[in-house]
Amino acid sequence: MPAITLEEAIDGPSHLHDNQPYDYLIVGAGFAGSVIAERLAAGLGQNVLLIDRREHIAGNAYDCKDAAGIMIHRYGPHIFHTNAQRIVDYLSQFTEWRPYEHRVLASVDEHLVPIPINLTTLNELFGLSMNEEQAQAFLASRAEPVANIRTSEDVVINQIGRELYEKFFRGYTRKQWGLDPSELDRSVTSRVPTRTNTDDRYFTDTFQMMPAQGYTHMFEQMLDHSRIDLLLATDFNVVRDRVQYKQLIYCGPIDEFFDHCFGKLPYRSLRFQHETLPQTQLQDVAVVNFPDPAVPHTRITEYKHLTGQIHAHTSISYEFPCAEGEPYYPIPRPENAELYKRYNTLADNTPGVTFLGRLGTYKYYNMDQVVGQALALYQRIEAELQGNPRAVKLEAG
């Protein structure tokens, strides 16, 4: 992974020294861009220039040590979970793993209770001692059936009724998205299950673990290839007409690529406030959620739970959702999906460029899904290069 300068990139692949164009320019060194860069270089011998406008690799999964030497995730907690063995196999070439099952507590009515809502949550919040069957009946008696489930509000009220919806979902969602759940696609709250047993794991995937030496280290191993030149702190606009390349893979925001010609695709952003505290531990689990609308942050993350690091101090981050800033979350509303479709059609009619990743395809994807999307693109390119274009559909998972 030679890290190079813009002048060197203009001269072409650094291992050739002969002004050849790059086979691929890849924009964005997050999961999408880095996985496809690795595959094209190592699998197909392609010369790749991978760029990022940030001064580091790993995209939003970037982790680093703070001033006290405690490993933190600069862009909020990233927990790896997947059901796909092939994704684990692929990433395991570049990292060892630390077993980790994620647990989250919610601060509600002066209680700290498990979220997703489970038997413990219900018993603690309502001062009851129900068993699983009783909890099922309890929820069924509160559920308010919604005939046509369209929005995020419908999903929750249909399942658990208005009181629990107000306590756990309404305030949190309004803070997180700047919209009422009644204005958001059903997919947002559908992701959060409700349980009547005592399972308090946030995810139930087969594989739940963290890269043993962190995400950035895993990316360093992935990109450690002589055919991958890496140019950081450089925006695509700077290299666009100055570097020679045959094909472009773009993992930045698709609307930005087309100069917002149909208007801006809305994204939700986040502000992180990182703090190091002079104590070994702040909270019992990695993440505590704050659904209360009067509290400005949505959650507090304590990173040592994720990394297992032993340290006399601890590091945390507060998360404040906001409208302006880095594009983090595509906002799932029908009109945004329509707008994205227009950009996607334009993309289909723009030769030489492929859009990839969460920003390139304007969809909330977990890390494993983005890896799956990049590997699917690789299969398609491999088939085309081998003169055997199979219809490999570009999709996640």
Ligand X SMILES: Cc1cc2nc3c(=O)[nH]c(=O)nc-3n(C[C@H](O)[C@H](O)[C@H](O)COP(=O)(O)OP(=O)(O)OC[C@H]3O[C@@H](n4cnc5c(N)ncnc54)[C@H](O)[C@@H]3O)c2cc1C
Q: Nearest distance from residue 12's CB to ligand X, in Å? A: 19
Is 81 or 167 the residue whose CB approaches ligand X more closely? 81
CB of 223 to ligand X, least distance (A): 13
Of 135 and 239, the one with the shorter C-beta distance to ligand X is: 239
Q: What is the enclosing helix (H) or strand (E) of 113?
A: strand 111-115
CB of 337 to ligand X, least distance (A): 18
Q: What is the DSSP letter of 45?
A: -
User: In which residue are the tokens 């100055």 written?
Assistant: 242
Alpha carbon of 61 to those of 29, 56, 326: distances in Å? 10, 11, 14
Residue with Cβ nearer ligand X (251 or 377): 251
CB of 365 to ligand X, least distance (A): 5
Cα(145)–Cα(158) distance, integer angstroms = 5
CB 98 within 8 A of CB 91: no
Strands 245-250 and 22-27 come out as parallel
Minimum CB–partner distance for residue 326 and ligand X (Å):
8
Min CB(358)–ligand X separation in Å: 4
What letter represents residue 346's amino acid?
Answer: L
Q: Residues for the chain: how many in total?
A: 397
**Hey, which bits of 195-255 come out as E strands?**
207-211, 228-231, 245-250
Answer for the pair 258, 348: CB distance below 8 angstroms, yes or no. Answer: no
Least distance (Å) from ligand X to the CB of residue 75? 6
Closer residue to ligand X in complex, CB, 59/266: 59
Which of these, 39, 148, 136, 144, lies nearest to 91 by C-alpha position?
Answer: 39
Closer of 383 and 396 to ligand X (Cβ) = 396
239 or 339: whose CB is closer to ligand X? 239
Closer of 123 and 361 to ligand X (Cβ): 361
**SS3 of residue 330 by DSSP:** strand
**Rounded-to-integer distance, Cα 109 and Cα 125, Å:** 8
Is 229 within 8 Å of 2 (Cβ atoms)?
yes
Cis status, amide bond into 116, omega within 30 of 0: yes
> Under a CB-based contact definition with an 8 Å cutoff, are residues 76 and 270 in contact?
yes
Q: Which is nearer to ligand X, 122 or 370 (CB)?
A: 370
- Residue ranges binding ligand X (CB under 6 A): 27-33, 51-54, 59-61, 75-79, 235-236, 251-252, 270, 328, 357-359, 365-368, 370
* Minimum gap (Å) between residue 28 Cβ and ligand X: 3
C-alpha closest to that of 376 among 349, 358, 397, 362: 397
Give CA–CA dist 201/340, Å, rounded.
34
| In the complex, minimum distance from the CB of residue 57 to ligand X, in angstroms, rounded to a whole number | 8
> Which is nearer to ligand X, 75 or 94 (by Cβ)?
75
